[in-house]
Amino acid sequence: MPLRPALITACVLNLLAVRGSALTLAAAGVSGRRALPSLARRAAYRRAAAAAVSMSTSSTSTSAAGSNRGGVDVLSARVPDATNPMSRGLVGAEASRLQMLSFYCFTPVADPEATRDLIFGLLSGLDPQKVRAGANAAGAAEHNRPLLGQDAIRGSVYVAAEGINAQLGVPVERVAELEAMLRSVPELAPEGRLSLNMGSVVDAEASTFRRLLVRRRRQILTDHIPGAEAAPLDLEDAGEELGAEDWHAAMTSAEPIVLDCRNDYESDVGKFAPAVPLDTKTFGDTWAALEEKIPDKVKENPDTPVYIYCTGGIRCVKVGAYMKQKLGLNPKRLEHGIIGYERWVQDQGAADGAEGAEAAPESTFEGENFVFDRRRTTPNAGAEPPSKKAKVEGKD
């Protein structure tokens, strides 16, 4: 049986962690009181690898329409990458910096396969039918995928009956073009449906994604919510969504109740100061963890606000809906997640110094943010610029 990509990735991460080598493509580490020990990062990588192995070995095959993996549901193309021996020579000096961004949209998708093909065609400029035919003829090996130019959009897009979810790296001069293309997708066209969550801007030489992949899945966020098939959650009713400024005020108030809705390997490298991690291995573990981690005083007084967050906001939609509808609680979720909060902190810092401007707030997120591309982590907005950081063991 061929190794699945998740298993291969897990093995590579695990070997790197065991040998004590930090990923050379990870963002520079944080220094000072916000830094987390490199050992903690290595342990987090090991847990991420173990989770990937677990998901790879425990998943069962389903029909093509219901599967979360499988070549028949995927369209992909390679992109030039400075760290990939197969394409590193194609990254020229004129290559553009990349805007890292993400978006998600829970909205009915009548024909996920057709929407997948449309999005792949728009983002790649290729004919989906020819790409699919070529993959079927040549096999799924890396070198058999078409190779895009150095100004290509790269990353992963997931399409399912419940919506669309994406993590992308986009040449900075193509961001407006990307947004226009996405708005031509019927499910994303209505006003307010598409909201791009802008992350870091990285150098062209940084390895983020080695391909553009658009996959049809059973769900854009696999949840394993108990009883969801019989009584689906209303994802429009997921609790109040707080902007970054209101979230910051809550984090600096007296003893807020905060739950980190990410997995343990993410929480281990960074979290909001007052947060209690759910300590899950996969998102499907969330529902049992909530029962354990929600304080008794909240169960006794369900109107008590419970602040929840994740990386970009998508997980908290399902968590918030579950907490409100199944547990009768009062969730408050962070709009655009950690990425949006850190962007707000940076924007406030950039405005600091203007006449009449207030002092920039200090980020309440401590450590690093675990991200799902080849960088693995990004420093928080309160960290010093890389040129001023002390060298962290295992990092260049």
| Final residue belonging to a domain, choices 181, 216, 251 | 216
In a domain, residue 365? The reply is: yes
Q: Are residues 211 and 285 in the same domain?
A: no
Closest CA to 135 of 218, 57, 214: 214
Examine the domain organization and report whether 232 and 311 are in the same domain: yes
294-332: string of b/e by CB count within 10 Å (b at 16+)? beeebeeeeeebbbbbbbbbbbbbbbbbbbbbbbebbbb
Query: For 226-267, how does the pLDDT look when each residue is reduced to its tens digit (9 = 90+)?
Result: 998 889 999 999 999 999 999 999 999 989 999 999 999 999
Does the residue 249 lie in any domain? yes
At 305, which CATH number? 3.40.250.10
Tell me which of 171, 190, 216 is where a domain ends: 216
- Per the structure block, which two tokens stand in for 139? 């096999």
Position 20 scores a pLDDT of 39
- The CATH number given to whatever domain includes residue 206 is 3.30.70.100
Q: Are 289 and 194 contained in the same domain?
A: no
Residue 14 CA to residue 42 CA, distance in Å, equals 9
Question: In terms of domains, do 366 and 250 share one?
Answer: yes
Within a domain: 104 = yes
| Helix, strand, coil percent content, the chain, rounded in steps of 5 | 35, 20, 45
Residue 176, burial from CB neighbour count under 10 angstroms (0-12, 13-18, 19+): exposed
- CB-hemisphere CA count at 13 Å for 47? 19
Does some domain include residue 63?
Answer: no
Q: Is residue 229 one of the residues assigned to a domain? A: yes
Check whether residue 259 and residue 368 sit in a common domain. yes
C-alpha separations of 84 from 91, 155, 282, 373 in Å: 10, 15, 29, 14
pLDDT number for residue 98: 94
Same domain, residue pair 152 and 238? no
- Residues of the chain with confidence (pLDDT) below 70: 1-72, 83-95, 135-144, 351-358, 380-396
Q: What does the pLDDT read at residue 131?
A: 87
Given this model, what pLDDT does residue 376 score?
78
The pTM of the full predicted model, rounded to 2 decimals, is 0.77
Q: Are residues 247 and 376 in the same domain?
A: yes
Show the tokens assigned to 113.
Answer: 């396969």
Q: Would you say residue 37 lies in a domain?
A: no
Residue 34 located in a structural domain: no
Q: Count of CB atoms within 10 A of residue 7's CB?
A: 17
The Cβ of residue 201 has, within 10 Å, a number of other Cβ atoms equal to 15
Q: Are residues 207 and 269 in the same domain?
A: no
Q: How far apart are CA 170 and CA 122, in angstroms?
A: 13
111/247 same-domain check = no
Beta bridge partner(s), residue 159: 164, 216
From 216, 233, 267, the end of a domain falls on 216
Residue among 6, 78, 4 nearest 372 (CA): 6
Number of structural domains (the chain) is 2
3-class DSSP state of 222:
coil
282: helix, strand or coil:
coil
Compute CA distances 26 → 110, 250, 368, 388, whole Å.
38, 31, 11, 17
Are residues 169 and 228 both part of a single domain? no
Do the Cβ atoms of 252 and 193 come closer than 8 Å? no
**Co-location of 251 and 366 in the same domain:** yes
- Tell me what pLDDT residue 206 has: 82
Query: What integer pLDDT is reported at residue 43 of this predicted model?
Result: 53
Angle at 76 between CA 72 and CA 78, to 5 degrees: 150
Identity (one letter) of the amino acid at 64? A
Sheet-wide strand order for 305-309:
240-242, 330-334, 305-309, 258-260, 275-277
The answer to whether residues 236 and 330 belong to one domain is: yes
CA pair distance 335, 274, nearest whole angstrom: 18
Q: According to the model, what pLDDT value does residue 4 have?
A: 45
Residue-number span of the structural domain to which 346 is assigned:
223-351+359-382
Are 339 and 308 in contact by the 8 Å Cβ rule? The answer is no
**Is 64 within the bounds of a domain?**
no
